[in-house]
Structure 1
Amino acid sequence: MISVCIATYNGEKYLQEQLNSILVQLSEEDEVVISDDGSKDETRTILKEYAERDSRIKLFKGPGKGVIANFEFAIEQSCGEYIFLADQDDVWLPEKVQTTMAFFENQPKIDLVISDLVIVDERLHTIEPSYFTYRKVRLGFFHNIVKNKYIGAGMAFRSRLKAKILPIPAEVPMHDMWIGLIAAYKKKSALITQPLTLYRRHDTNASEINTKASFYQQLKWRSAISFALLKRLLFNI
């Protein structure tokens, strides 16, 4: 069983396109877990309409504490053996689920995979054909603490990883960085170099490709996540 976890907030503009690209790839036994964090636009109405038509959609009221807590809550509600993270404004390419599941089947010791993405504008015109190439993505625990390249929009993991990543500390910079580093520490992560997602960039994205944070802020983030990882890795893994 697959669980797709989506954290939504004011995503009415692109949400239907993303949901359509996901649902067509899932079986009747799979689920789409959506945590909406108090949207003020028509997001909630759209989600209710989809949930009424499709029993695979499980809609929850989010904790109202921001994107990290919202994704954490969605992951907590998931029941599937495999968990895919999805942003509200992207588009999954048709072979995403099949390619990712085949990779997991061929690599039983791998807990987490990150597939490449095509960076596109709001109309889905290509900006960069490979996120991996553009961001010089590579695996590695210490490398990604210093300069994180892990991206939730391309991320999928086995449910056995949930016990290690949850709860997600409130002080970490982003949920995907935390999840990727937990898997990387045990060397149980891998990359799929085939682009499987159209990663849409627009004026209201919740995350940035290249952070505008100051060096001091980035240093604070690295210190916070290093301390949180030390506590988790020493006592929980």
Structure 2
Amino acid sequence: MKYKVSVVMPVYNSEKYLRPSVESILNQTFQDFEFIIINDGSTDSSGTILKEYSKSDQRIKLIEQENKGIVSALNFGFEMSDSEYVIRMDSDDISMPYRIEHQLKFMDSHPGVGASSSVFEVIDEFGELVVTDKGELFSHCSSEMLAWSSLFTTVLCHPGSIIRKDVFSEIGGYRKEFQYIEDHDLWLRISSISKLAITSEPLIKYRHHGNNLSTIYGKDSKNKNLHAACLYDFLKKNDLNSYSFEDCMWLWHIYYHKRGSNLVEENPHIVNSLARKIILLYKWFVENHNDKIKDIKEDVVKIIFGLMKSSSRCSYYEKAKLLSIFLRFKLSHAF
């Protein structure tokens, strides 16, 4: 390998924020890296700006392609990298000057970690600080808890991440069918072969504005089922064939509504089935991680308790069954 680390950054119509983003990488305290930038068919002045930087800094490897989307751009960037690690960067965010140096130190000292990110600050379109430690909640989680949570949600900050190239290649990279949640799908598959980690020092400023992919995706109702589809695909590949796509939709929903759900309340016939499904998923997870994890069991207890709060329309018999399921699980020694 020619480099210790490569930085991969896809670009599409980012002229407004591009210069501070590029310069935050070029001005790192660790300087020996290649900077792979994929201009994914930009129609604004992004291409001109990138050519200017590539002429003045030999570390930049500029790739021009027609617009194919972020998954294609990222996979091509990883393929072109010649390094042990790959750091992700987005064209509207800003990396702290010591980001690469600190992330390399962490990964070198934690050989069992396949991918990690830091907590991050959130800035607005003008660069003003909005949130100081986004992602701090997950930074206190064990690698097992991160793996459990990745079944349902995106646990690592994608543009703030660093990934071992061999781990990325082993799982087959990003998948086109999960574009817009390609990071969620990636972390879920990495968690099945390696550890995930989050460091508590903010190393990136994530810029929130109206044109973020996550903002656009969140407004698109056609993509609402992607997270459930990701879970369903993962469970099928692990021979958990008793879970239907509808089950995965409900499991994803109750994970996000641990304090109770009006939607669950309107469907009382599913409550006990969901409680059993989440417990079975927990048991499979514990068996496959060769450990009994207390914090994960407590998370499942919260989910079942949320179901109990949503069971007002259930019959007394169904409520009694749910209470029995809850107590048996809570009082069991399956830690």
TM-score category by the smaller chain? 0.7 to 0.9
Which residue number corresponds to residue 162 of structure 1?
168
TM-score for both structures, normalised by structure 1? 0.87
Cα deviation code 1:203-235 (max 9, x no counterpart): 222223993454x843x213432354457778x
CA distance in 2, matches of 1:105, 1:25: 18
5 Å-filtered alignment, 1:117-132, equals: 117-132=120-135
In structure 2, do the counterparts of structure 1 residues 95 and 65 end up closer, same or farther at CA, with 3 Å as the change threshold?
Answer: same
Q: Is contact 1:169-1:228 (8 Å) kept?
A: no
CA distance in 1, matches of 2:211, 2:77: 21
CA distance in 2, matches of 1:119, 1:27: 24
CA distance in 2, matches of 1:74, 1:231: 29
Which residue number corresponds to residue 97 of structure 2?
94
5 Å-filtered alignment, 1:57-76, equals: 57-62=60-65, 64-76=67-79
- Segment of structure 1 superposing worse, 141-150 or 177-186: 141-150
| Pairwise CA distance, 1:137 | 8.6
CA distance in 2, matches of 1:77, 1:187: 23
TM-score for both structures, normalised by structure 2? 0.63
* Letter matched to residue 44 of structure 1: G
Tell me the C-alpha RMSD between the 2 structures.
2.6
* Letter matched to residue 37 of structure 2: I
CA distance in 2, matches of 1:136, 1:102: 17
In structure 2, do the counterparts of structure 1 residues 137 and 11 end up closer, same or farther at CA, with 3 Å as the change threshold?
Answer: farther
Which residue number corresponds to residue 186 of structure 1?
193
CA distance in 1, matches of 2:237, 2:38: 25
CA distance in 1, matches of 2:168, 2:138: 27
Secondary structure of the residue that 1:111 maps to in structure 2?
A: strand
In structure 2, do the counterparts of structure 1 residues 65 and 210 end up closer, same or farther at CA, with 3 Å as the change threshold?
Answer: closer
CA distance in 2, matches of 1:209, 1:140: 26
Which is strand-richer, 1 or 2? Answer: 1
Cα deviation code 1:28-76 (max 9, x no counterpart): 6410111111100110011111111111111112352212222222112
1:206 aligns with 2:206: no
CA distance in 2, matches of 1:181, 1:75: 18
Secondary structure of the residue that 1:156 maps to in structure 2?
A: strand
Q: Is contact 2:11-2:38 (8 Å) kept?
A: yes
Q: Is contact 1:165-1:178 (8 Å) kept?
A: no
Within the candidate set 222, 229, 243, 1:224 is matched to 229
Cα deviation code 1:107-149 (max 9, x no counterpart): 1121111111101112221111111147899553342232323
Cα deviation code 1:159-185 (max 9, x no counterpart): 111212434221114222122112222
In structure 2, do the counterparts of structure 1 residues 227 and 74 end up closer, same or farther at CA, with 3 Å as the change threshold?
Answer: farther
Q: Is contact 1:72-1:166 (8 Å) kept?
A: no
* Letter matched to residue 76 of structure 1: E
* Letter matched to residue 15 of structure 1: L
Q: Is contact 2:156-2:198 (8 Å) kept?
A: no
Higher RCO structure (Cα 8 Å, ≥6 apart): 1
Which residue number corresponds to residue 51 of structure 2?
48
CA distance in 1, matches of 2:238, 2:61: 32
In structure 2, do the counterparts of structure 1 residues 134 and 167 end up closer, same or farther at CA, with 3 Å as the change threshold?
Answer: closer
> Which structure 1 segments of 5+ residues have no match?
none
* Letter matched to residue 221 of structure 1: L
Q: Is contact 1:113-1:156 (8 Å) kept?
A: yes
Within the candidate set 75, 78, 81, 1:78 is matched to 81
* Letter matched to residue 143 of structure 1: S
- Segment of structure 1 superposing worse, 82-91 or 57-66: 57-66
Report % sequence identity: 28
> Which structure 2 segments of 5+ residues have no match?
240-335
Which residue number corresponds to residue 39 of structure 1?
42
